[in-house]
Structure 1
């Protein structure tokens, strides 16, 4: 009976669940035989599912020896309605980051919840958190904080060079909006490096959709002489709808910023000329700047852009 219960649970069983079908001593005898191992209070796993590599076997937390997906399930079972997976663990559930075996798992809990951190699991107390929608949702069968909150909470935990990518990706994939992220940021007034996240959200609100566009906005395409570009401007030509990185509407100039990966993609190099030619049929001039020039020749790119805009304005006049 106990073995069947463990199998139905995908290798996991709780003490409460086991004692509904077998006597308590059956569970402890299975542990004594080495068939089951306790990974968290009241949560047990089939022993064969533990990673037996030396670097994991000697680690500080048994739960760190589980496959990450199984570890998340174990933490969720242990929380049992007292907390929700959060921070970097929530980012993994939302598909924004990959967990590795041994990574610390994170739960957020209301201030009065009877749950505290354990080896391998950090519990974060949060005033005003309610374990019901919209504060938390159920995703992949797990109770998890909203994506906006997970992105904000995870910001200082990620290496500085990796912080912006999940935020940009979440907005680009339309899983959230910059406005909802600003609202979530407002709930964490003492977030480390808060100003940098705030600046990123301002850029996303303005229409920037990549690190390169943010660089261009901050170093090239704003300031004296530059028009107020429309970012990600929607243009329809015949049956096709296109979004323009930067569009100077009066001069009818579209500035496209080609990232390093895009510039080296043969398929993209074939698509771009067709797109540019289509825009030309409605009088829009497309000017492309590669990643290398934007980053290393910012002043020259700025001068070229101003000259192009001035010439187009003269022709229009």
Structure 2
């Protein structure tokens, strides 16, 4: 049995006993290691030279990838990345504080499962915690709003149901209540979740992913009259997409909608400014005044 092929099927790294059980002989291991085709990542642990760090850390520690490491592998949106691998271990597994396996950029979690079974296809089987468990454990590492972004995305993709939040065991009660109150699987991006939460917190009525005849779906409709479109960092790589958005904007204007567009930095770095601009435009819409009838003291400062 070819050792590289076996390692590939196991995600790029494996314990020696796993390789032997798969049919790899001790001699094949020695030869592949001597030839530099595989590396000995730790005592009793072998890996391909380009093995993913998360898989490698999980094999070395005999644990499971969890929390934001597992969610990142799944492609869920993260606002921040710590550079650490998050690994779940049994509660009774002991490690010295100076254990080199722990000090090499690994964040350890210890927790009982919450009963979920759906695993993360991007990682080898039995090497990651279920999606719901990873989301639950994330309460230890991310702020409430980023946690909501992750849960929104998981619900949108059908990975969990909103009812799964009630079964979270690691998240404190206040976090579970926050998530259950604000989760909305209709949001299709990090920017939509943050914007929806920000505007909803100001008492505005916000509807995500509204379909409008002749236009298609728009990101958000606020107070029934203002369309908010959100342009991510990878916005418009080609001219046709840019032209299509201009056409949509014109059609929306013809239908009586006002359109505001915000960028990643607007939403993530300056949410208070974004909210102020939305409130100012809504005030204009409600009073029926145009920008030309407003005095300079009534306009937003640049």
Instruction: Give the structure-1-normalised TM-score.
Output: 0.57
Q: Is the 8 A contact 2:156 2:185 kept in 1?
A: no
Provide the residue aligned with 2:299 in structure 1: none
Deviation per CA, 1:288-307: give whole Å up to 9, x if none: 23446974385565254134
Q: Is the 8 A contact 2:13 2:47 kept in 1?
A: yes
- Per-residue deviation at 1:232? 1.7
Provide the residue aligned with 1:182 in structure 2: 165
Q: Hey, what's the Cα distance between the residues in 2 that align with 1:259 and 1:295? A: 18
Check 1:261–1:237 CA distance in 2 against 1; reply closer, same or farther (3 A cut).
same
Provide the residue aligned with 1:225 in structure 2: none
- Listed as ranges, the gaps of 5+ residues in structure 1 are 50-66, 223-227, 313-317
Provide the residue aligned with 2:54 in structure 1: 72
Deviation per CA, 1:8-34: give whole Å up to 9, x if none: 42474533245566876x589769969
Match of 2:184 among 205, 216, 234: 205
- Per-residue deviation at 1:205? 2.9
Q: Hey, what's the Cα distance between the residues in 2 that align with 1:74 and 1:213? A: 38
- Per-residue deviation at 1:94? 0.9
Provide the residue aligned with 2:7 in structure 1: 9
Check 1:171–1:139 CA distance in 2 against 1; reply closer, same or farther (3 A cut).
closer
Instruction: Identify which of structures 1 and 2 has the higher relative contact order when contacts are C-alpha pairs closer than 8 Å and 6+ apart.
Output: 2
Provide the residue aligned with 1:57 in structure 2: none
Provide the residue aligned with 1:86 in structure 2: 66
Within a 5 Å distance, the mapping from 1:1-317 to structure 2 comes to 4-6=2-4, 8-10=6-8, 12=13, 14-17=15-18, 19=20, 26=27, 38-45=40-47, 49=49, 67=50, 69=52, 71-77=53-59, 83-96=63-76, 103-111=83-91, 118-119=101-102, 120=104, 121=106, 123-128=108-113, 134=117, 136-143=119-126, 144-157=128-141, 163=146, 167=150, 170-171=153-154, 174-176=157-159, 179=162, 182-183=165-166, 186-190=168-172, 195=175, 199=178, 202-205=181-184, 209-219=192-202, 222=203, 229-232=205-208, 234-237=210-213, 241-243=216-218, 245-249=220-224, 253-259=225-231, 270-279=243-252, 284-291=255-262, 295-296=272-273, 298=275, 301-309=278-286, 311=288
2:282 partner SS: helix
Instruction: Give the structure-2-normalised TM-score.
Output: 0.60
- Per-residue deviation at 1:231? 0.8
> Alignment RMSD, CA only?
4.9
- Listed as ranges, the gaps of 5+ residues in structure 2 are 290-302
Deviation per CA, 1:225-275: give whole Å up to 9, x if none: xxx63512633526x6424512545xxx23325558699987665334432
Deviation per CA, 1:48-68: give whole Å up to 9, x if none: x3xxxxxxxxxxxxxxxxx45
1:106 partner SS: strand
- Per-residue deviation at 1:86? 0.9
1:142 partner SS: coil
Deviation per CA, 1:44-101: give whole Å up to 9, x if none: 246xx3xxxxxxxxxxxxxxxxx451x3334455577xx4321233123212379xxx
